[in-house]
Amino acid sequence: MKVVVSGGGTGGHIYPALALINEIKKHHSDVEFLYIGTENGLEQNIVNRANIPFKSVEISGFKRKISFENVKTVTRFLKAVSVSKKYLKEFNADVVIGTGGYVCGPVVYAAAKMKIPTVIHEQNSLPGITNKFLSRYVNKVAICFEEARKHFPANKVVLTGNPRASEVLGQDADKGRHSVGLIKDKKTVLIFGGSRGAKAINDAVLEMIPSLAEKPYQIVYVTGEVHYEKVMNEVKKGNSSENVIIKPFIHNMPEVLAAVDLIVSRAGATSLAEITALGLPSILIPSPYVTANHQEVNARSLSDHHAAITLKEQELNGDKLLTEIDGVLLNEIKLKEMKQASKKLGIPDAALRLYSVLKELSK
């Protein structure tokens, strides 16, 4: 079987694609993969690390306002469709799956026009513009939230969940702890701002770091690659604490997640799929800078069920964050209730469900 995968820009679109690849490998020893992404998203680095052959196309997103940029985007799109057709023909793809981000547009569209079976995977409850466009051409649309169903042609939709949910299960917590330097038998909070980091979360964490020295828990705090140097400069000015381990990015997130008791993060859909598969409690600070405020909708889908606490970015500061962390982590009953509520929302067999959709199509 020959499978082409495309998804890019941010980790939330890339990791589900890689998790699906791992699931397919469990069922087939003779399968070949090609990943098509862009050179300027996070995908090239992450996909190379996973040893999956990678090819790139050049593409950009549409601006919401009418502008000359959009004319250039159309030209780029048409060129990227033609490059994608060349890649798909050379590789002789049996099936193509897009997991979101602009790059899927030309790749999946080209495949559909070549009559190759196609699937798109939508992680969010409010779909992105590329997936809405593609849903007219593809064979199947895999979704993660029931709320997404109404945005797509009814006969194509399948609820699979996010394959990354399956990938984070059954991981070695000791390995995770060891890889970042965490102590065993001490409660642990993981703080990160999505796959690219978030300045607002970094500012709040820097404010609370001096108060962490006396806390009975430890923190592993991921700044995001682009923010790391700036954060470390602040920390060096005297804001450090032994209880806090600071990293620019974590490449073995499934192992690290196995070692933590509470998550503080943005509300990207792939992170939420991981959190609920593991049944972790979380404090979510949705990014207000995303299309149609979709992260707040994602976050509410957990906090409405008492699995998480949603904190608006405008309310965020060091004191507030510390109070919320203490409120969950130092209260065993609340911790237990949130864990149970979180676990109920997870779809742990998502990878197998998505693989089954692909298998059925490629017959």
Residue 122 CB, nearest distance to ligand UD1 (Å)? 8
The total of other beta-carbon atoms located within 10 Å of residue 125's CB is: 20
Residue 294 CB, nearest distance to ligand UD1 (Å)? 6
Cβ contacts of 307 within 8 Å, gap of 6 or more: 276, 281, 282, 338, 341, 342, 344, 345
Residue whose CB is less far from ligand UD1, 33 or 145: 145
Residue whose CB is less far from ligand UD1, 9 or 117: 9
Which residues belong to the annotated binding site for UDP-N-acetyl-alpha-D-glucosamine? 10-12, 124, 195, 250, 295
β-strand pairing of 187-192 with 282-284:
unpaired
Please state the φ and ψ torsions of residue 157, each to the nearest 5 degrees.
-85, 135
Residue 168 CB, nearest distance to ligand UD1 (Å)? 8
β-strand pairing of 282-284 with 262-265:
parallel
Residue 198 CB, nearest distance to ligand UD1 (Å)? 9
Residue 142 CB, nearest distance to ligand UD1 (Å)? 13
Residue whose CB is less far from ligand UD1, 106 or 268: 268
Q: What are 262's strand-pairing partners?
A: 189
DSSP code of residue 235: I
The three-class DSSP label of residue 216 is coil
Q: How far apart are the first and last CA of the chain?
A: 10
Residues of this chain that bind ligand UD1 (CB under 6 A): 10-13, 15, 100, 123-124, 164, 192, 194-195, 222, 249-250, 253, 266, 268-271, 274, 287, 290, 294-295, 298
Residue whose CB is less far from ligand UD1, 173 or 250: 250
Residue whose CB is less far from ligand UD1, 88 or 278: 278
